[in-house]
């Protein structure tokens, strides 16, 4: 009779005396001649296996002596308790070991380029190239166990709330989410292309027109953007859409989904989430994704700066600029080196510089004091409510530059003074986004989200008179300064949709050509509807406490969009191009 296979990581002292069968990978080998120790790893964990001549017999000892890291083995043996001095508290099975009576190699392994252990010196490139070995590392495995649990909870929650999971096409037409499309040439229709979906946006709206009422999908999306460290060209969204609801209904669903998802990692989502409008977020924190684990609100220094002859202030206020600041409580002790670093941070956001001032031991000081004059300087400190021991950071520039610089400095200052309580998590909604943004170079309006977002009804007339002033029924959900998702109540009337297209400079013909099918659908009885998309990869990354999206995506791409394991993208055979009616391109000289 064969013994059933035992998961290695589940054995405890309670199993002492049991005969067990293990199958897994060899980790480390310690060879003491008469005694050989192997660790054996499988999905459940690791256990130590002992081979000794007296108890195991000659052949198993001989074979164990030949075992190498990452060989796949089958081992039979008996669970024995370790002596008190041998107990290993670092692993759950540390109280016992297996005395082996048999060892078979199910597969031999070449020397791996690195050992799949949590602490590794392997470069990320090597880890991505040998991804199958990297994924053997216990923390990587744990990340995917967590990801599976999160996806399962999301599905269960949405299913219980009456949402239907529906798949939408991968080979489709362009969806305007603001990125470039990945195009797929059609062989059957030479010269024509599919686009991979940037999101299922148009399909989910059409499912609402079809009367599905509540849709979701754990959907793959593709965006050909210049990649940044925290982006992937293909990523996964929890895509949601619902009919007949308002913002309140969407918020309730999303809060339930996120509470369930983060619950998988023991992170509590305090409900209801805090809410603030876009205007409030920009005013208080300089960003539409504020980290609310700490206060540190920005302050308006323009009225006091107006009275000073300080040239940078005057310059900003003479144009369309402003002067705003940040009080860093207890920040007077921040080093000069740090302040220089923060000045560089402010410059990296386009600011001409950073003005700092501190009050310590009753003395106020600042490199700008002299240029500002004592009275104006004191007025500035008073406006910033700077008390003894505090630091004031001020930036004078165009409003978007001031906001971006101070938002970054707010985070840096919070870290510096230890104001972030990392045991807490702060979820919030940011609402009432502007409907449009404006391209600084061309002056053209573009949709802040996508062109199907509904304006607030009271702002409808601004579409023609003041497009920049129109607010959208759009919202973002933010966690600890990271955007988890964004969505909106949609336009469900063809006439409003046309007005929005017009404001965006999309002609009727262009609108018809790009999204005619949606416009047409809106004419056949479209219910009011809205939804959201939540970034599953980012949720998993935060829940796992990982520092990179690549640690929660099984086969991710590098920042230049390459898959180092498969070697994609790669050239294709000339015949394939001929079939697709595509002329070969010479790669640009590098
Ligand atoms: N389609 C949007 C996006 O992918 C989300 C939404 O509006 O539901 O960002």
Q: Is 323 exposed, middle or buried (0-12, 13-18, 19+ CB in 10 A)?
A: buried
In the block, tokens 């109540």 appear at 489
Does the beta carbon of 201 lie inside 6 Å of ligand 1? Answer: yes
What atom of ligand 1 comes closest to residue 221's alpha carbon?
4
pLDDT in the model for residue 516: 86
- Taking the C-alpha atoms of residue 151 and residue 144, their distance in angstroms, rounded to an integer, is 10
pLDDT-derived band at 498, boundaries 50, 70, 90: confident
Does the beta carbon of 532 lie inside 6 Å of ligand 1? Answer: yes
For residue 308, pLDDT beyond 90: no
Angle at 383 between CA 377 and CA 388, to 5 degrees: 75
For residue 116, pLDDT beyond 60: yes
For residue 493, pLDDT beyond 70: yes
Selection from 549, 298, 294 nearest residue 422 by Cα? 294
For residue 183, pLDDT beyond 70: yes
For residue 321, pLDDT beyond 80: yes
For residue 447, pLDDT beyond 60: yes
Count the helices and strands in the chain (H runs, E runs). 19, 22
For residue 557, pLDDT beyond 90: yes
Nearest residue (CA) to ligand 1, atom 8 = 532
Does the beta carbon of 199 lie inside 6 Å of ligand 1? Answer: yes
pLDDT-derived band at 281, boundaries 50, 70, 90: very high
Residues 6+ apart with CB under 8 A from 358: 331, 332, 334, 364, 365, 366, 386, 390, 391, 392
Does the beta carbon of 50 lie inside 6 Å of ligand 1? Answer: no
How many CA atoms, within 13 angstroms, populate the side-chain half-sphere of residue 262? 22
Q: How far apart are the first and last CA of the chain?
A: 64
pLDDT-derived band at 72, boundaries 50, 70, 90: very high
Torsion of CA 66, 70, 72, 74, to 10 degrees: 60
Selection from 462, 448, 451, 322 nearest residue 395 by Cα? 322
Q: Is 161 exposed, middle or buried (0-12, 13-18, 19+ CB in 10 A)?
A: middle
- Counting residues of the chain whose pLDDT is more than 90, the rounded percentage is 85
pLDDT in the model for residue 2: 56
In the block, tokens 């809205």 appear at 530
Q: How far is the CA of 445 from the centre of ligand 1 (A)?
A: 19
- Taking the C-alpha atoms of residue 92 and residue 78, their distance in angstroms, rounded to an integer, is 18
What secondary structure does DSSP assign to 504-525, as a single string? TT--HHHHHHHHHHHHHHHTTT
Beta-sheet pairing, 234-243 with 274-277: unpaired
Q: Give the pLDDT confidence of 335-351 residue by residue, as tens digits.
A: 999 999 999 999 999 99
pLDDT in the model for residue 414: 97
Q: How far is the CA of 486 from the centre of ligand 1 (A)?
A: 6
For residue 1, pLDDT beyond 60: no
pLDDT in the model for residue 249: 98
Give me the mean pLDDT over the 312-319 stretch.
91
pLDDT in the model for residue 417: 95
Does the beta carbon of 240 lie inside 6 Å of ligand 1? Answer: no
- Taking the C-alpha atoms of residue 205 and residue 526, their distance in angstroms, rounded to an integer, is 9
Q: Which of 21-30, 260-269, 516-525 has the lowest mean pLDDT?
A: 516-525
pLDDT in the model for residue 202: 94
Strands (E), 71-191: 72-81, 96-107, 164-165, 183-185
Query: Dihedrals φ, ψ of 155, to 5°?
Result: -60, -45
Q: Decide which of 264 and 376 is more confident.
A: 264
Q: Decide which of 508 and 245 is more confident.
A: 245
Nearest residue (CA) to ligand 1, atom 1 = 201
pLDDT in the model for residue 590: 63
């Amino acid at each position: 009779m064969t013994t059933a296979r035992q998961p290695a990581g589940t054995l405890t002292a309670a199993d002492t005396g049991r005969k067990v069968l293990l199958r897994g990978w060899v980790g480390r080998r310690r060879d003491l001649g008469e005694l050989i120790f192997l660790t054996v790893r499988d999905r459940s964990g690791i256990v130590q296996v002992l081979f000794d001549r007296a108890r195991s017999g000659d052949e198993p000892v001989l074979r164990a002596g030949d075992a190498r890291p990452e060989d796949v083995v089958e081992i039979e043996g008996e669970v024995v308790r370790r002596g008190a001095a041998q107990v290993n508290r670092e692993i759950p099975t540390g109280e016992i070991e297996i005395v082996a009576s048999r060892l078979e190699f199910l597969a031999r392994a070449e020397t791996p380029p690195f050992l799949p252990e949590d602490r590794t010196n392997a470069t990320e490139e090597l880890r991505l190239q040998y991804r199958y070995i990297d994924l053997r590392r216990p923390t990587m495995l744990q990340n995917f166990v967590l990801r599976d649990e999160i996806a399962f909870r999301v599905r269960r929650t949405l299913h219980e709330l009456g949402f239907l999971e529906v798949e939408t096409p991968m080979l489709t037409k362009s969806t305007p989410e603001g990125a470039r499309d990945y195009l797929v040439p059609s062989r059957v229709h030479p010269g024509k292309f599919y686009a991979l979906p940037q999101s299922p946006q148009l399909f989910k709206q059409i499912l609402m027109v079809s009367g599905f009422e509540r849709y979701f999908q754990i959907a793959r999306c593709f965006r050909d953007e210049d990649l940044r460290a925290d982006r992937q060209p293909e990523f996964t969204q929890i895509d949601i859409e619902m009919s007949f609801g308002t913002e309140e209904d969407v918020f309730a669903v999303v809060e339930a989904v996120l509470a369930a998802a983060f619950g998988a990692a023991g992170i509590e989502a305090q409900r209801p989430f805090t809410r603030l409008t876009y205007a409030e977020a920009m005013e208080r924190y300089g960003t539409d994704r504020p980290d609310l684990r700490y206060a540190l609100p920005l302050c308006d220094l323009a009225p006091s700066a107006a009275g000073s002859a300080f040239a940078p202030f005057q310059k900003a206020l003479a144009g369309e600029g402003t002067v705003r600041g940040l009080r860093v409580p207890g920040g007077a002790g921040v080093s000069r080196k740090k302040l220089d670093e923060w000045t560089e941070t402010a410059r990296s956001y386009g600011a001409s510089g950073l003005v700092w001032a501190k009050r310590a031991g009753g003395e106020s000081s600042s490199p700008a004091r002299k240029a500002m004059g004592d009275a104006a300087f004191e007025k500035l400190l008073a406006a910033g409510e700077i008390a003894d021991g505090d630091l004031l950071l001020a930036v004078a520039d165009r409003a978007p530059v001031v906001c971006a610089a101070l938002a970054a400095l707010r985070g840096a200052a919070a870290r510096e003074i230890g104001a972030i309580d990392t045991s807490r998590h702060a979820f919030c909604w940011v609402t009432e986004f502007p409907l449009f943004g404006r391209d600084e170079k061309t002056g053209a309006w573009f949709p802040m989200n996508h062109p199907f977002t509904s304006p607030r009804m009271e702002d409808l007339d601004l579409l023609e008179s003041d497009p920049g002033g129109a607010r959208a029924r759009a919202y973002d959900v933010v966690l600890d300064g990271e955007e988890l998702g964004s969505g909106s109540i949609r336009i469900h009337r063809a006439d409003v949709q046309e007005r929005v297209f017009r404001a965006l400079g999309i002609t009727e013909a262009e609108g018809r050509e790009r999204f005619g099918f949606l416009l047409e659908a809106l004419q056949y009885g479209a219910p009011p509807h809205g939804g959201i998309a939540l970034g599953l990869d980012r949720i998993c990354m935060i829940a796992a406490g990982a520092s990179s999206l690549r640690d929660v995506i099984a086969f991710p791409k590098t920042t230049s969009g390459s898959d180092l394991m498969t070697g994609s993208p790669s050239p294709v055979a000339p015949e394939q191009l001929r079939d697709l009616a595509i002329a070969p391109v010479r790669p640009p000289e590098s």
